[in-house]
Amino acid sequence: MKLKELDRYLVKPGKELRLKDISTDTVKHLPEREKADQEMQKAAEKIGAMQDRLYAEGRRSVLVILQGMDASGKDGTVRKVFDGVNPTGVQVTSFKQPSSEELRHDFLWRCHAKVPPRGYIGVFNRSYYEDVLVVRVHAARLLPRELRDDKQEWHRRYKTINSFENLLADGSTRVVKFFLHISKEEQRKRFMARQKDPEKNWKLAAGDFEERRFWDDYQSAYEQMLPATSSERAPWYVIPGDHKWVRNYWVSHILLAALEEMDPQPPKLLDKSLTSRRFK
């Protein structure tokens, strides 16, 4: 599947976006569940093979960014989509609340240090985009007082992010970004499932109950951020996330298509005699 064939979920740069108009539970353009699962598994295996080539080539890297509301499936996406990748070839970073040291730097500082080196796939489970999402929703608490009434602050941050991602692209890092789009009702069901499952209780936090009150504010923040930071070099894809198998199918196929477009090539063996020399 070519990348252009997957444009239905691509966020057009600068074009107005309404998340309410984008279905969270659609199964359009997909085969039946069993076949979709098989094709997703094949895509995951191919991603693993492409990462081997990426490592052997050693000239480029890939950064995958996963964003979404709480319980949108970021962890599950990592487990499924990268199941076929050599664990030493993928680096997953989950960004939590900034430390005191990180707060003394600009908001990109801690993320830049985790960008994957050449030859690797890096995954950001949440990212610097939190600084135009959580910080925007809770600006009265998280923004410095002098910036709270500055309506240009978010546009400045979008511009900074775009410049940063251009810097990464100039340094041979391909950036692919996924917004895992779930409904408020689906989030509620997943939170309730965590309540009932002793193996998943640990994922619950008091903030889960509090943050649901700001659902509409977060949706608005995403609607502003996605088209402002989607670009040809670092595109955003809005992925229907209510069905986990649908989410995994599209993320795996879009990432695989991006890797195939990159077409990493292992170096040629200079000493051909090594292929015929006998081991003693």
Closest listed residue to residue 87, CA positions, set 52, 135, 35: 52
Residue 74 has pLDDT above 90, yes or no: yes
Position 4 pLDDT exceeds 90: no
Taking CA atoms, 49 is separated from 42, 46, 82, 174, 215, in Å, by 11, 5, 11, 17, 39
CATH number at residue 213: 3.40.50.300
User: Region 35-64: what's the mean pLDDT?
Assistant: 97
Residues 230-278 pLDDT 10s:
999 999 999 999 999 999 999 999 999 999 999 999 998 888 888 888 8
Nearest Cα neighbor of 62 from 39, 85, 43 is: 85
Does residue 175 sit in helix, strand or coil? strand
Whether residue 105 is predicted with pLDDT greater than 90 in this model: the reply is no
Q: Tell me, yes or no, whether 70 lies in a domain.
A: yes
Question: Does residue 125 contact residue 95 with C-beta atoms inside 8 Å?
Answer: yes
Q: Which residues are within 8 A (CB) of 136 and not within 5 positions of it... i.e. 6 or more apart? A: 154, 221
Q: At 144, is the secondary structure helix, strand, or coil? A: coil
Q: What is the pLDDT of residue 97?
A: 76
- Percentage of the chain with pLDDT > 90? 79
Tally of structural domains, the chain: 1
- Is 270 inside a domain boundary? no
- Residue given tokens 């998943």 in the structure block: 200
Summarize the confidence of residues 16-33 as an average pLDDT. Answer: 96
- The string of pLDDT tens digits covering residues 203-222 is 898 888 999 999 999 999 99
pLDDT at residue 116 in the model: 98
142 sits in which H/E element: helix 139-142
In whole angstroms, give the CA distance from residue 213 to residue 227.
24
Which domain covers residue 256, as residue numbers?
A: 3-264
Tokens of 9: 């979920």
Given this model, what pLDDT does residue 252 score?
Answer: 98
Does 122 reside within a domain? yes
Q: pTM higher than 0.85, yes or no?
A: yes
pLDDT, position 157: 95
Residue 80 falls inside a structural domain? yes
Tell me, yes or no, whether 272 lies in a domain: no
Mean pLDDT of 62-75: 97
Q: Encoding tokens for residue 276?
A: 């015929």
219 part of a folded domain? yes
- Asked whether residue 269 is assigned to any structural domain, the reply reads no
278 in a structural domain: no
Nearest Cα residue to 180 out of 83, 98, 68, 100: 68
Per-residue pLDDT tens digits for 134-167: 999 999 888 888 888 887 999 999 999 999 999 9
